[in-house]
Structure 1
Amino acid sequence: MQAAVVTENGVVIKTVPIPALGAEQVLVRVRAAGLNRADLGVAAGHAHGAMGGAGTIMGIEFAGEVAAVGAGVTQVKPGDRVMCSGAGAYAEYALADMGRVVPVPDRNLSWEQAATLTVALSTMHDAVVTNGRLVAGEAVMVLGASSGVGLVAMQIAKHLGAGLVIGTSTNAERRARLKEFGADLAVDTSVEGWSKQVLEATGGKGVALVVDQVSAATINEAMLATAILGRIVNVGRLGGNKGSFNFDLHATRRIAYIGVTHRTRSVEEVREEFRVMRRDLWDAVEAGAFSLPIDKVFPLAQAPEALEHMKANQHFGKIVLAT
């Protein structure tokens, strides 16, 4: 099969064997794969746990038809249309753990659309509900809201009854579109003192929950915008892994600062993440309540160009590979 593989000379399209099927795995004929920010680190050769390094097949999100199932798999069968998360997505065939495979909703979704949803739904349900403990009526702010997962975070918050949803972006054109995806207020975090806009919108209290994909560049201002006893869930670090942190402000506002990642989760933990996401959101998914714009579709052979397009950070929504 053809796959986009990390080499010492960058990401290269190579012929590799179809992966061997395990007892609790599903082999999928990939029709489309979604790009995610984590892919850039893998493409650069930065190892993340089991991911990364020369020989790694790129990608963590895909949709396609079930080609074969392991002996312990009962919930899907060959021929089923599914969307999944799992390693090796930038390829003609990929494996997924049985707990990370969900049916493509029966509403004529294209493969490209189906490939955009799995990671965003599971990651942001985990951030907003499981770790963020959203209560209906609370105000929520998503930092870095114009990314695919950010757009879904706002939609989940709105669907679950958030009283006010705030999204941020430093790009005026992308910021203008956030209201299409659930934002009641769009904020430019490049403006000095931007937290004042959030405080004004919340009657001086601040938001109860921050879903933070930016981290170092905005953390202190974000804490100023967070209510006393509020929660900040650190999902991504687009603004830097390290930076200044105002510990006194953190203590004064008694903020719960929660870090999340999939790199240190067990198979069982990720299966549970998918289970509770489906419990809370699947009726809405099947009704078409969540959607993502597709910025651009590249063929698999142009995976390196697709990664460069993502690295340029000029896209809105998802970038997809068609296989």
Structure 2
Amino acid sequence: MKAYIYGANGAEIADVAKPTPKGTQVLVRVRACGLNRADLGMTKGHAHGSAGGVGTVLGMEWAGEIAELGPDVKGVKVGDKVMGSGAGAFAEYTLADHGRLFHAPSNMNFDEACTLPIAITTMHNAVVTVGGLQAGQSVMIQGASSGVGLMAMQIAKFKGAKLVVGSSTDATRRARLKEFGADLAVDSSDAGWVDQVLQATSGEGVDLIVDQVSGKVASQNLKATRIKGRIVNVGRLGGTHADFNFDLHAARRIHYIGVTFRTRTIEEIRDIFDAVRKDIWPAVESRKLQLPIDKVFAFDDIGKAFEHMEANKHLGKIVVTL
């Protein structure tokens, strides 16, 4: 089958063996894939958890049809239209655990469906399950113009947040954040953003920050979070190491929690998918929670899709179709 791999000469399209499902795995005929920031690093040879390196089939997010079932699969059948996440998505066929996929709504095409699995699972977990957002509370999303960031703001609004703050360092994208639920949009590269957040919260700070940036905003986040508030660290696009004000962290008694799919067991991941189905799936089906598609590329042009991502001028998801 045709696949986009990291080979000896870098990322390239190659012919590889079609995988065979085992146990609780299904084989999916992939029709569309969503690009994510972690994919960009892996095209350059970087590891993402245990994945990466020469011979790796790249990609983490897809939509398609079930082509074959492993012997222990439950809840789906051959021919079902599904969407999900997992390794090896940029290929004609991929494997997925039966608990790590959703039935794609009938009112969505494959391009639309492939934009959602990572965003809705990552941010429902960060905002609701781990972040504990309650109706009437305030939340800030650092890195709000990414696909997962746009979804985080929508989920926060859907769950009844009274104030949603989104950050973006790009003026054009920052101006559009209100379309996706932001009541206040700030530039996190400008140190004045903390004062803006404090002013919007009567000097107290927000109840919850979901941080995809980290790096230099880590200590600024502490100043912008209320006493006994929460910070959920989801991403580190601004750097994995930086100054951290431990005294401020202690004084404000902030719960600082790190999350990632990379070290979760399949049982934990299944629980996250189940939580989405039970809590917000009707809003996905009704298109209340959705992401814009920035641009669609044919699979043969996947290299151009990554060039588009690296230019960092897009808003919404970049999709590749097979």
TM-score exceeds 0.5:
yes
Cα offset for 1:26? Answer: 1.1
Instruction: Report the secondary structure of 2:3's partner residue.
Output: strand
| 1:55 lines up with 2:55 in the alignment | yes
Partner residue of 2:241? 242
Tell me the equivalent position of 1:273. Answer: 272
TM-score by length of 2: 0.98
Secondary structure of the structure 2 residue equivalent to 1:314: coil
* Displacement of 1:217: 2.3
Deviation, structure 1 residue 101: 1.2
Q: 1-side partners of 2:29 and 2:47: how far apart?
A: 26
> Number of residue pairs matched?
322
TM-fit CA distance, 1:305: 2.0
Question: Which amino acid counterpart does residue 65 of structure 2 have in structure 1?
Answer: E
Structure 1: where are the runs of 5+ without partners?
none
Distance in structure 1 (CA, Å) of the matches to 2:75 and 2:187: 45
Counterpart position of 1:285: 284
Question: Residue 6 of structure 1 corresponds to which residue in structure 2?
Answer: 6
Three-state SS of the structure 1 residue aligned to 2:280 is helix
**% identical aligned pairs:** 59
Deviates more, 1:302-311 or 1:208-217: 302-311
Code of the residue aligned with 1:180 in structure 2: it is E
Return 5+ residue gaps in structure 2 as ranges: none
SS of corresponding position for 1:239: coil
Q: Which residue in 2 is equivalent to 1:317?
A: 316
Deviation at 1:41, TM superposition (A): 2.1
For 1:314 and 1:238, locate their aligned partners in 2 and report how far apart those are by CA, in whole Å. Answer: 16
Paired residue for 2:68?
68
Give the secondary-structure state (helix, strand or coil) at the position aligned to 1:230.
strand
Higher relative contact order (CA 8 A, sep 6+): 1
Return the letter of the residue paired with 2:99.
Answer: G
Alignment of 1:128-277 (within 5 A): 128-277=127-276
Q: Which residue of 2 aligns with 1:96?
A: 96
Q: Is the 8 A contact 1:223 1:249 kept in 2?
A: yes
Check whether the contact 1:144–1:213 (CA below 8 A) recurs between aligned residues. yes
The one-letter code matched in structure 1 to 2:211 is D
Task: Measure, in 1, the Cα distance between the counterparts of 2:154 and 2:86.
Answer: 24
Distance 2:301 2:254 in 1: 44
Q: Deviations over 1:97-148 (max 9, x none)?
A: 11111111122x1211100000000000110011101111100000000000
Aligned partner of 1:43 in structure 2 is: 43
For residues 176-220 of structure 1, what are the alpha-carbon distances to aligned partners after superposition, in whole Å with 9 as ceiling and x for unaligned?
111111111111112222100001111111100000000012111
TM-score, normalization by structure 1: 0.98
